[in-house]
């Protein structure tokens, strides 16, 4: 039997604890003894984007970048988070991949991430768009940079009709988010034969990105409990954690160990397009990892992070936007009930007062004492 997890220093069967324990993966709960096959299928169904080599040079003629090895790990992690959002949107969280999968929607999602210039979320598009954030091709991205780049790229994806909001300065102004998600045009024109995913109320699916620092050089232990809680929400899209040249995509946890997908494997480029000279009939399998890796939370690269979650209707989640008779409201969960040890960097008023109002009356959500996250709202708050 293949191990479920690659281990750091233990030699447990399947990488799971000897005693019965719960495994959480992107909001889904499993029993470590009874649900081994289900855990394996869930892990294999996540889109796994890694370093690639042999693709068309990024930057065109004369460019030497035919591989992203050594600098593209955060870009690949960004692809994994966005890929999971698209899978949840178009196929649902319960969808499972197998080597025999022939689902046309799945292949359409996969093609949008292929390493070719025309793909909307390719390494080419991400790296070149990074120039607008002051990054040259071949330069490592931080979580905030990848968030800003993805925000710009989704604008051109009419099929998913997704919008991304990046919350800066540890605050979220709800009215700004709602305004961004409202669709002005009533058009539902077909895109490549498919109708864009716009609700009758014309609400754009929202991906909310909140870059945070959870420590200085390593995670502050006070945040670990909140991290575990975030992985339990059904809307969870996971977490990108990174430091220069070492970004990882965290998708869950078991006990005191966090589970992640590692992009630091170099694979050869291939295409799913049968008319392409680079067509590889088996390339599909290289986008799925048989095993994830796990390590102790304190060893995770969380100091600079971007957490993700999704919601189909603004329901229960780390943060949600609800609609009631008095308008929109925002709720969230506390990462910790007391400030971290580096108190001088966390003003007490932000810890005590999670909600404040701006001079314009907009509701502001402070994340100084909360854990960052990504919210995914395909439909407007209150939609049934």
pLDDT of residue 159: 93
Q: Where are the domains of the chain?
A: 5-325+371-377
Three-state DSSP at 364 gives strand
pTM of the model: 0.80
Q: DSSP state, 193?
A: T
pLDDT of residue 182: 78
pLDDT of residue 223: 80
pLDDT of residue 316: 28
pLDDT of residue 281: 86
**Mind telling me the catalytic residues?**
73, 262, 264
Residues 66 and 57 sit within 8 Å (Cβ to Cβ): yes
The structure tokens listed for 86 are: 């698209």
pLDDT of residue 322: 43
Q: Which residues contact 239 (CB under 8 A, 6 or more apart)?
A: 227, 230, 231, 249, 250, 302, 305, 306, 307, 308
Q: DSSP state, 163?
A: E
pLDDT of residue 13: 46
Which residues does the chain have with pLDDT short of 70? 1-19, 60-62, 170-171, 183-201, 242, 300-384
């Amino acid at each position: 039997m293949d191990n479920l997890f690659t281990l750091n220093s233990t030699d447990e069967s399947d990488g799971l604890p000897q005693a019965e324990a719960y495994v959480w993966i992107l909001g889904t709960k499993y029993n470590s003894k009874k649900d081994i096959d289900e855990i394996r299928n869930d892990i294999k169904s996540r889109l796994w984007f890694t370093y690639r080599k042999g693709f068309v040079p990024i930057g065109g003629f004369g460019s030497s970048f035919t591989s992203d090895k050594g600098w593209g790990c955060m870009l690949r992690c960004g692809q994994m988070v966005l890929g999971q959002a698209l899978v949840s949107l178009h196929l649902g969280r319960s969808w499972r991949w197998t080597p025999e999968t022939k689902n046309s929607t799945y292949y359409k999602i996969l093609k949008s991430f292929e390493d070719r210039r025309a793909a909307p979320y390719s390494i080419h598009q991400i790296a070149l768009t990074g120039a607008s954030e002051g990054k040259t091709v071949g330069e490592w991205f931080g979580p905030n940079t990848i968030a800003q780049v993805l925000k710009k790229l989704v604008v051109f994806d009419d099929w998913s009709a997704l919008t991304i909001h990046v919350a800066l300065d540890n605050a979220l102004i709800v009215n700004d988010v709602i305004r961004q998600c409202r669709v002005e045009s009533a058009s539902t024109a077909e895109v490549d034969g498919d109708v864009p995913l716009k609700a009758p109320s014309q609400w754009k699916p929202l991906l909310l990105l909140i870059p945070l620092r959870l420590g200085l050089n390593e995670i502050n232990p006070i945040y670990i409990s909140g991290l575990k809680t975030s992985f339990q929400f059904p809307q969870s899209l996971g977490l990108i954690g990174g430091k220069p040249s070492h970004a990882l995509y965290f998708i869950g946890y078991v006990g005191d160990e966090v589970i992640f997908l590692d992009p630091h494997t170099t694979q050869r480029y291939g295409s799913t397009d049968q008319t392409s000279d680079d067509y590889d009939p088996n390339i599909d399998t290289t986008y799925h990892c048989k095993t994830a890796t796990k390590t102790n939370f304190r060893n995770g690269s969380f100091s600079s992070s971007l957490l993700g979650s999704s919601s189909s209707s603004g329901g229960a989640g780390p943060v949600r936007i609800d609609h009631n008779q008095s308008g929109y409201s925002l709720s969230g969960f506390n990462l910790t009930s007391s400030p971290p040890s580096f108190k001088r960097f966390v003003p007490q008023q932000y810890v005590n007062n999670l909600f404040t109002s701006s001079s314009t009356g907009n509701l502001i959500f402070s994340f100084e004492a909360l854990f960052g996250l990504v919210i995914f709202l395909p439909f407007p708050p209150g939609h049934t």
